[in-house]
Amino acid sequence: MSVYPSGVKVVEVGPRDGLQNEPVPIPTEVKIGFVRKLAAAGLREIEVTSFVRPDRVPQLADAEAVLAGLADLPGTRLSALVPNERGLARALRSGVRRIAVFTAASESFTERNIGMPVEASLESFRRVTQEAAAAGMSVRGYVSTAFYCPYEGPIPPAQVLRVAAALLQMGVDEVSLGDTLGVAVPTEVDRLLETLRGELPVERLALHFHDTSGTALANVLAGLQAGVTVFDSSAGGLGGCPFAPGAAGNLATEDLVYLMERMGIETGVSLEKLAEASLFIEDHLGHGLSGKLLQRLRASGWTPAPATEVAATNRTKPACADSSS
C-alpha cells in the first residue's frame, strides 16, 4: 500500500502561466482582484506575473502595476518570472521578493522559446540567481519539456537531471518539472523521478502538469507515490503554452485540491473560494474554463454565495465538495 503525505503545497500559476496566452487584454485591476481572491481561498504561493518583454507577452506588460496593487497582501508569497538580467532589474524595482527562472530540457524548445541553447540559458540564470540572492530574493526554477518536446519527441531522464541539477547548484531552492505538452503518463513520471531521486533531494522538486491528454491527475498520483509534495496548477485550468502547439491548459487547481481533499491530504485551500476566484476571472476571458470540477459546478447552477451569507451559515465544508461517493 502506498503511503501518502499528510499535506502538499499547491503553487498557483494561473495569473502568470494561465493568463499569458489569453488573446483578450485583461485589465490590471481585474488581475489584482483575481490574485486577491486566490489568496483568500488559502493559496499561499502564487506566481503573479512575468518581467518579459511586453512585445513578446503583451498580456503581462503591466507587471509592475499588478505587483504594486498587491503590496499590502499579507500571508501569501508572490513571485514573478524573470527571463534575464534586464527582467531582474525590473523585478528588483517592483519589490517582489521571489522570482522564477525558466529553461527546458530540450535544446530545440529552449532555442525557440528564449532564443538560446540550454547551456547558455543556464549561464544567464546563474548570473540572475547570484544577483537575486545578493538582493535577498529567493529563486525558483522551471525545467520545461521534462517529458516530451514538440520538436524532439521523448526526452531522456538523464537530460532532465543535468538541467535540474545545474539549477539547484546555482542556488535555486525548488525545481518545477514541466509536462509542457500534457502528454506524459504515470509510468513516465515514475521513470523520471526514479532517475532524479538518486541524485537530487526529492523535497526540492515540484511537478507541473498540463492536461492536454487528460492524464494530469494520474501523473500527480504517480508524483505523490514517488515522494513529491509540491504541485503547480492553475485556477480553472487556465493556460496553454504559445511555444508548444496543441498544448492545453494547466492542471486545474480545483481538480487538484478536490483529489487531495478526498484522499485526506491537506492543502489549506477552500474549494468554494477557489471556485469563486475562477468564475471571477472567467467572466473577463470571453470563454469558459476547462477545469472539470468547475464545469460540474457550472452545470449544477452553483453560484458563489454573498460574503454575508457565507459568514451567517458558518460553513466549514466547501459547498462544492462531493460527499455522495
Active site residues: 241
* Domain-located, residue 325: no
Confidence of residue 307 (pLDDT cuts 50, 70, 90): low
Q: How many domains does the chain have?
A: 1
CATH at 294: 3.20.20.70
Residue 58, in any domain of the structure? yes
Whole-number pLDDT of residue 302 = 83
Residue 48 in any domain: the answer is yes
Domain contains 181: yes
Rounded distance between C-alpha atoms, residue 105 and residue 34, angstroms: 32
136 belongs to a structural domain: yes
Q: What is the pLDDT of residue 317?
A: 35
Residue 263: what residue type? M
pLDDT band with cut points at 50, 70 and 90 for residue 159: very high
**Average pLDDT over the chain, rounded to whole?**
90
The confidence score (pLDDT) of residue 94 equals 97
Whether residue 313 is predicted with pLDDT greater than 80 in this model: the reply is no
- Please report the pLDDT score of residue 286 as a whole number: 87
Query: 121: domain range?
Result: 9-313
Amino acid at 110: T
Residue 319 pLDDT greater than 60, yes or no: no
pLDDT tens per residue, range 243-287: 555 556 899 999 999 999 999 999 999 999 999 999 999 999 988
Q: Residues of the chain with pLDDT > 90: what percent?
A: 78
**b/e string for 148-171 if b means 16 or more Cβ within 10 A?**
bbbeeeebebebbbbbbebbbebb
Q: Distance (Å, rounded) from C-alpha 148 to C-alpha 282?
A: 30
Select from 210, 255, 260 the least CA-distant residue to 230: 260
SS3 81: strand
| 28: enclosing H helix or E strand | helix 28-40
pTM score, whole prediction: 0.91
pLDDT in tens, 92-106: 999 999 999 999 999
Asked, for residue 169, whether it belongs to a domain, the answer is: yes
User: Of the given ranges (9-23, 181-195, 265-279, 299-313), which has the lowest mean pLDDT?
Assistant: 299-313
